[in-house]
Homo-oligomer: A and B are copies of this chain.
């Protein structure tokens, strides 16, 4: 199909935006890895300039004209996806007036400071005025963007495009109803003994093993690299996708699972088609889908027996202290379930209870059902109900996460969506490729990766989350797969018969 000059111009413009985004990514990567501390303010100016150049192009008259012209033209299938997604981004960027964007940014800086102090003193009250202001600004933002049903939809849409608050509510309600009793059952069973031998695991030994793991998963180090940072992250795109890890010298678990997680993200980025680089056809469907890739590798593959049947002997060679720890003890160790106050330290089961609680609070706030000052009471009551332990103070409670201070509402649900998607994808993969796990025990992860490449990665944003999931698994998005997966897995690991394991209705 011949392409119009407007179409070519649009591609040029979005590729320029993408190149600026790559530059922004590198600034961020550097800031979190190697930047000297004294450069902090300069880096802020650099970030602001690049972000401004991106916003300028995204909301330019030229962009508006091109989109309007192309909507009247007949486009190829690729062209229609690109136009749809660019229009979505353009509308959103254009709908929020610059002064509001600026006020959110300024309030975010102040609220960040207030949050830091409040958490330090476990004093939620002192945080209320700025948090309240931020919520008000985000409500305004939601009004600018627009929504059909609930204001929170407009915020959620940044992370799970097309998904509505109602969808998440229904899904999480069912999830909680099933997950809480399962978690309780697991917690009632005897906990595994600590299997990590005391002593030091030097950084270089850990690093060597992390390289083996990431390369074994198929992460292309010729177009990526692995560095240390305070918090692990995946950065970049195209031919330059970098991952980071943190570590503790006394326990390699703290570096191993973050690196499998980040390599899972990176494999998604490295799985886009080169011909689409710089367009939405080489971008993740949603944040939740991105998370599904990291969680599938980290939890489903990376915490499974066959995976460690291959990798554990190598680990034992690189970290000889583990030679006295049998494989099954290691497996129970890395699948330990403990209720904890801090989300980021939570296990595969309880993690979702943290997220559901966080989402319920956000939904209630933006529904007007929950006032800012009432958040701690709301939090503490549900926390104990879901996790079975009483919250001792707000620092360990509703003040634990920084995100709200910057206006990060609508973002948390993606984490649990990622877990649900991962389980649903895993179910389909096992059905479609019988014996897919057999390769794991021989170190062959390529069938798994190939299946993801073919079914998920290469499509970029061609389909919506719901469409893509239906295409791959034949079913709507459902919590059933996750419940089934954890019931089986933890039933086996803890030698208990988990009640409530649901029947799968899947047609995949």
Q: Which segment, of A40-48, A435-443, A446-454, A472-480, faces chain B? A: A40-48
For chain A, which range describes its interface: under 10, 10 to 19, 20 to 34, or 35 or more residues? 20 to 34
A194 to B314, CA, bound (A): 45
Output the least CB separation between A146 and chain B (Å): 33
Chain B residues near A50 (CB-CB < 8 A): 23
A42 and B240 form a contact (CB under 8 A):
yes
Q: Which segment, of A14-22, A294-302, A340-348, faces chain B? A: A14-22
Chain B residues near A123 (CB-CB < 8 A): none
A37 to B224, CA, bound (A): 8
B39 and A223 form a contact (CB under 8 A):
yes
Q: Does A69 contact B (CB under 8 A)?
A: no
B23 and A27 form a contact (CB under 8 A):
yes
Output the least CB separation between A486 and chain B (Å): 37
A46 and B27 form a contact (CB under 8 A):
no
Q: Does A5 contact B (CB under 8 A)?
A: no
Q: With A49-B19, A49-B20, A239-B41 as known contacts, state yes or no: A223 contacts B26, CB within 8 Å.
A: no
Q: Which segment, of A28-36, A93-101, A321-329, faces chain B? A: A28-36
Report the copy number of this chain in the oligomer: 2
Chain B residues near A19 (CB-CB < 8 A): 45-46, 49
Chain B residues near A45 (CB-CB < 8 A): 19
Q: With A26-B30, A220-B38, A225-B34 as known contacts, state yes or no: A49 contacts B240, CB within 8 Å.
A: no
Q: Which A228-282 residues have a C-beta within 8 angstroms of B?
A: 238-240, 242
Q: Does A109 contact B (CB under 8 A)?
A: no
- Among residues of B, the one whose C-beta sits closest to the C-beta of A20 is B49
A325 to B30, CA, bound (A): 41
A23 and B38 form a contact (CB under 8 A):
no
B23 and A240 form a contact (CB under 8 A):
no
Chain B residues near A34 (CB-CB < 8 A): 34, 225, 227
B36 and A221 form a contact (CB under 8 A):
yes
A42 to B26, CA, bound (A): 12
B22 and A240 form a contact (CB under 8 A):
no
Chain B residues near A224 (CB-CB < 8 A): 36, 38
Output the least CB separation between A48 and chain B (Å): 9
Q: Which A314-337 residues have a C-beta within 8 angstroms of B?
A: none
Q: Does A215 contact B (CB under 8 A)?
A: no
List 28 A-B pairs, Cβ < 8 Å: A16-B49, A19-B46, A19-B49, A20-B49, A22-B42, A23-B27, A23-B50, A26-B27, A26-B30, A26-B46, A30-B30, A34-B227, A36-B221, A36-B222, A36-B240, A36-B242, A37-B222, A38-B220, A38-B224, A38-B240, A39-B238, A39-B240, A41-B239, A42-B238, A42-B239, A42-B240, A43-B240, A53-B53
